[in-house]
Protein backbone atom coordinates (compact mmCIF):
# COMPACT_ATOMS: atom_id res chain seq x y z
CA UNK A 1 0.00 0.00 0.00
CA UNK A 2 3.05 2.28 -0.10
CA UNK A 3 2.21 3.52 -3.59
CA UNK A 4 -1.24 4.76 -2.57
CA UNK A 5 0.06 6.64 0.49
CA UNK A 6 1.14 9.53 -1.78
CA UNK A 7 -2.42 10.21 -2.83
CA UNK A 8 -3.94 10.41 0.63
CA UNK A 9 -4.61 13.89 1.89
CA UNK A 10 -2.39 15.30 4.60
CA UNK A 11 -5.36 15.47 6.97
CA UNK A 12 -6.00 11.73 6.66
CA UNK A 13 -2.35 10.96 7.30
CA UNK A 14 -2.25 13.26 10.33
CA UNK A 15 -5.36 11.62 11.78
CA UNK A 16 -3.86 8.21 11.18
CA UNK A 17 -0.63 9.35 12.81
CA UNK A 18 1.66 8.68 9.85
CA UNK A 19 3.19 12.14 9.54
CA UNK A 20 3.48 15.25 11.62
CA UNK A 21 3.89 18.34 9.50
CA UNK A 22 6.72 20.62 10.57
CA UNK A 23 5.97 24.32 10.66
CA UNK A 24 8.52 26.61 9.08
CA UNK A 25 9.08 30.21 10.02
CA UNK A 26 10.23 32.42 7.17
CA UNK A 27 12.68 35.06 8.33
CA UNK A 28 12.76 38.38 6.55
CA UNK A 29 16.24 39.87 6.49
CA UNK A 30 15.88 42.23 3.58
CA UNK A 31 17.58 45.55 3.86
CA UNK A 32 15.64 48.74 3.33
CA UNK A 33 17.43 52.06 3.65
CA UNK A 34 20.41 50.33 5.26
CA UNK A 35 18.40 48.90 8.17
CA UNK A 36 17.72 45.23 8.70
CA UNK A 37 14.22 44.04 9.48
CA UNK A 38 13.72 41.77 12.43
CA UNK A 39 12.35 38.30 11.70
CA UNK A 40 8.59 37.92 12.00
CA UNK A 41 7.40 36.81 15.40
CA UNK A 42 6.21 33.24 15.57
CA UNK A 43 2.54 32.96 16.53
CA UNK A 44 1.64 30.23 18.94
CA UNK A 45 -1.80 28.77 18.45
CA UNK A 46 -3.63 27.33 21.42
CA UNK A 47 -3.93 23.60 21.06
CA UNK A 48 -7.27 22.20 22.16
CA UNK A 49 -7.40 18.45 22.78
CA UNK A 50 -9.27 16.55 20.09
CA UNK A 51 -11.91 15.24 22.47
CA UNK A 52 -12.81 18.84 23.48
CA UNK A 53 -12.62 20.50 20.07
CA UNK A 54 -16.36 20.34 19.32
CA UNK A 55 -17.72 20.94 22.81
CA UNK A 56 -17.95 24.75 22.89
CA UNK A 57 -19.41 25.88 19.57
CA UNK A 58 -19.58 29.68 20.00
CA UNK A 59 -20.32 32.37 22.56
CA UNK A 60 -23.96 33.39 22.81
CA UNK A 61 -24.18 37.10 21.97
CA UNK A 62 -27.42 38.54 23.30
CA UNK A 63 -28.35 41.54 25.42
CA UNK A 64 -29.02 39.37 28.45
CA UNK A 65 -25.70 37.54 28.05
CA UNK A 66 -23.87 40.88 27.86
CA UNK A 67 -25.55 42.12 31.04
CA UNK A 68 -24.78 38.91 32.94
CA UNK A 69 -21.16 39.01 31.69
CA UNK A 70 -20.50 42.02 33.91
CA UNK A 71 -21.08 39.75 36.89
CA UNK A 72 -18.53 37.17 35.73
CA UNK A 73 -20.93 34.77 34.00
CA UNK A 74 -20.43 33.99 30.31
CA UNK A 75 -22.87 32.16 28.06
CA UNK A 76 -21.87 29.70 25.32
CA UNK A 77 -23.67 27.50 22.82
CA UNK A 78 -22.36 23.98 23.34
CA UNK A 79 -22.82 20.60 21.68
CA UNK A 80 -26.05 18.82 22.55
CA UNK A 81 -24.17 15.82 23.97
CA UNK A 82 -21.73 17.89 26.05
CA UNK A 83 -21.77 17.68 29.85
CA UNK A 84 -20.54 20.01 32.61
CA UNK A 85 -17.15 18.38 32.98
CA UNK A 86 -16.40 18.61 29.26
CA UNK A 87 -17.50 22.26 29.09
CA UNK A 88 -15.38 23.14 32.13
CA UNK A 89 -12.25 21.54 30.69
CA UNK A 90 -12.89 23.04 27.23
CA UNK A 91 -13.15 26.57 28.68
CA UNK A 92 -9.91 25.97 30.58
CA UNK A 93 -8.19 24.78 27.39
CA UNK A 94 -9.52 27.67 25.27
CA UNK A 95 -9.14 30.61 27.64
CA UNK A 96 -6.76 29.35 30.34
CA UNK A 97 -9.21 30.04 33.19
CA UNK A 98 -10.73 27.33 35.37
CA UNK A 99 -14.45 28.13 35.86
CA UNK A 100 -16.00 28.00 39.33
CA UNK A 101 -19.24 26.46 38.07
CA UNK A 102 -21.01 25.47 34.87
CA UNK A 103 -24.80 25.47 34.49
CA UNK A 104 -26.33 23.81 31.42
CA UNK A 105 -29.78 24.30 29.92
CA UNK A 106 -31.43 22.40 27.08
CA UNK A 107 -33.17 24.93 24.84
CA UNK A 108 -36.12 23.46 22.98
CA UNK A 109 -36.48 24.49 19.34
CA UNK A 110 -39.33 26.89 18.64
CA UNK A 111 -42.31 25.87 16.52
CA UNK A 112 -42.40 28.07 13.41
CA UNK A 113 -44.61 28.43 10.37
CA UNK A 114 -43.61 28.96 6.76
CA UNK A 115 -46.82 29.84 4.98
CA UNK A 116 -49.17 26.91 5.44
CA UNK A 117 -46.56 24.43 6.59
CA UNK A 118 -45.44 24.04 10.19
CA UNK A 119 -41.92 23.27 11.28
CA UNK A 120 -39.59 23.36 14.22
CA UNK A 121 -36.19 24.92 14.74
CA UNK A 122 -33.39 22.71 15.99
CA UNK A 123 -32.97 22.22 19.74
CA UNK A 124 -29.67 23.34 21.25
CA UNK A 125 -27.80 23.45 24.53
CA UNK A 126 -26.66 26.54 26.44
CA UNK A 127 -23.92 26.64 29.08
CA UNK A 128 -23.56 29.46 31.60
CA UNK A 129 -20.00 29.54 32.91
CA UNK A 130 -19.19 31.35 36.17
CA UNK A 131 -15.60 32.55 36.50
CA UNK A 132 -13.71 33.40 39.71
CA UNK A 133 -13.76 37.04 40.86
CA UNK A 134 -11.34 39.22 38.97
CA UNK A 135 -11.12 36.90 35.94
CA UNK A 136 -12.64 37.93 32.61
CA UNK A 137 -12.95 36.60 29.06
CA UNK A 138 -12.92 39.01 26.14
CA UNK A 139 -15.48 37.40 23.82
CA UNK A 140 -17.34 40.51 22.75
CA UNK A 141 -14.40 42.27 21.06
CA UNK A 142 -15.80 42.36 17.51
CA UNK A 143 -19.43 43.06 18.45
Look at residue 116 and tell me if it is in a domain.
Answer: yes
Q: How far apart are CA 64 and CA 118, in angstroms?
A: 29
Segment 78-96 mean pLDDT: 94
Look at residue 15 and tell me if it is in a domain.
Answer: no
Is it the case that residue 122 has pLDDT exceeding 60?
yes
> In CATH, what number is assigned to the domain containing residue 97?
3.30.70.330
Q: What's the pLDDT tens digit per position in 39-85?
A: 555 555 567 777 788 999 999 999 999 999 999 999 999 999 999 99
Q: Where in the sequence is the domain holding 55, given as residue range(s)?
A: 48-143
Look at residue 140 and tell me if it is in a domain.
Answer: yes
Look at residue 30 and tell me if it is in a domain.
Answer: no
Look at residue 24 and tell me if it is in a domain.
Answer: no
Q: How far apart are CA 106 and CA 126, in angstroms?
A: 6
Average pLDDT for the chain: 80
Residue 115's pLDDT is what? 94
Cα separation values, 6 from 3, 92, 99, Å: 6, 38, 45
Look at residue 136 and tell me if it is in a domain.
Answer: yes
Give the number of other Cβ atoms within 10 Å of residue 22's Cβ.
Answer: 5
Q: How far apart are CA 33 and CA 112, in angstroms?
A: 65
Task: Judge if pTM exceeds 0.85.
Answer: no
| Count: domains in the chain | 1
Look at residue 88 and tell me if it is in a domain.
Answer: yes
Look at residue 66 and tell me if it is in a domain.
Answer: yes
Amino acid sequence: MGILEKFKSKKEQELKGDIVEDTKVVKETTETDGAKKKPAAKKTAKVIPSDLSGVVLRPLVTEKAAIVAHGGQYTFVVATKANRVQVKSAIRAMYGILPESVNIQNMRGKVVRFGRSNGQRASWKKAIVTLPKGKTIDIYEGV
